[in-house]
Chain A
């Protein structure tokens, strides 16, 4: 692969990885650091310095050494991207679960009409696709070393993560409406329970009267 071509891919993947890392940080309320992508970035940087040193003749190496090191840097950059994408996709799913589990199905259906017919099936499909990316990535990574294969997988993965983020934003925007509906649901439930409550009071009174009458009649 041409050096400029490799550099373009490294820059593109680096920007994507950085974006995902920043977004994942914003979603993580436990403030825990996820170090795996940083290790890959460190290794990519190491290979870039090796290649650049050879280019500048600080290291006495041939052209093949330079290309091999840029290729390896790109390989680490891909792994950094995959680790970050994996982390943020799990964080988004966790966040969606945490938001929606507080509300009834009727509430979700009323406030987010697209959730059951569109969003939920799509979330499940993305989950399956991500599992497949992980398998494909490992195969490409270990057997063929085909960077074009990794490129395709990373582009699809990035699209899916962006879609997940859009779903999350959509759901987060509906939280006030979900809360409002929840209050209405509670009120409605209380009103529905009034006749039942009155019946229980009346039944209690009747039983008390019956017991009193039984004692008196002895």
Chain B
């Protein structure tokens, strides 16, 4: 890779995939056939931001025995 392209690539930010929503999961499921990688991701087993915050609130609000 020549110096200019390298510099250009390094100065670019990664695409932002956050926050993770149900739409992110739908797209992941849709595109998973085309890529090899994590089985969990391919099956859509991912915490969405909303799910995680809800889960966290539920656990925190539940009193310990």
Contacts and interface: CB of A to CB of B under 8 A. Distances in A.
B65 A103 contact: yes
Contacts, number: 60
A97 B14 CA distance: 39
A210 to B, nearest CB: 47
Contacts of B18: 36, 39
A58 B10 CA distance: 11
Contact of B40 (A31, A93, A105): A31
A96 B65 CA distance: 9
Contacts of A49: 10
Contacts of A58: 3, 6
Interface residues of B, number: 22
A73 interface: no
Contacts of B45: 30-33
B47 to A, nearest CB: 5
A97 B47 contact: no
Interface string A1-39: 000000000000000000000000000001111111001
B31 interface: no
A96 B55 CA distance: 15
Contacts of A123: 64
Interface of A: 30-36, 39, 42-43, 46, 49-50, 53, 58-60, 86-87, 90, 93-94, 96-97, 100-101, 103, 105, 108, 120, 123-124, 127
Interface of B: 3, 6-7, 10, 14, 17-18, 20, 38, 40-41, 45-47, 52, 55-56, 59-60, 62, 64-65
Q: Which 4 A-B pairs have the closest CB atoms?
A: A100-B65, A33-B40, A94-B59, A32-B45
Given A32-B40, A58-B3, A127-B60, 18 more contacts: A31-B40, A31-B45, A32-B47, A33-B38, A33-B41, A33-B46, A39-B17, A49-B10, A50-B10, A58-B6, A59-B7, A86-B56, A90-B59, A93-B59, A94-B59, A100-B64, A108-B65, A120-B64
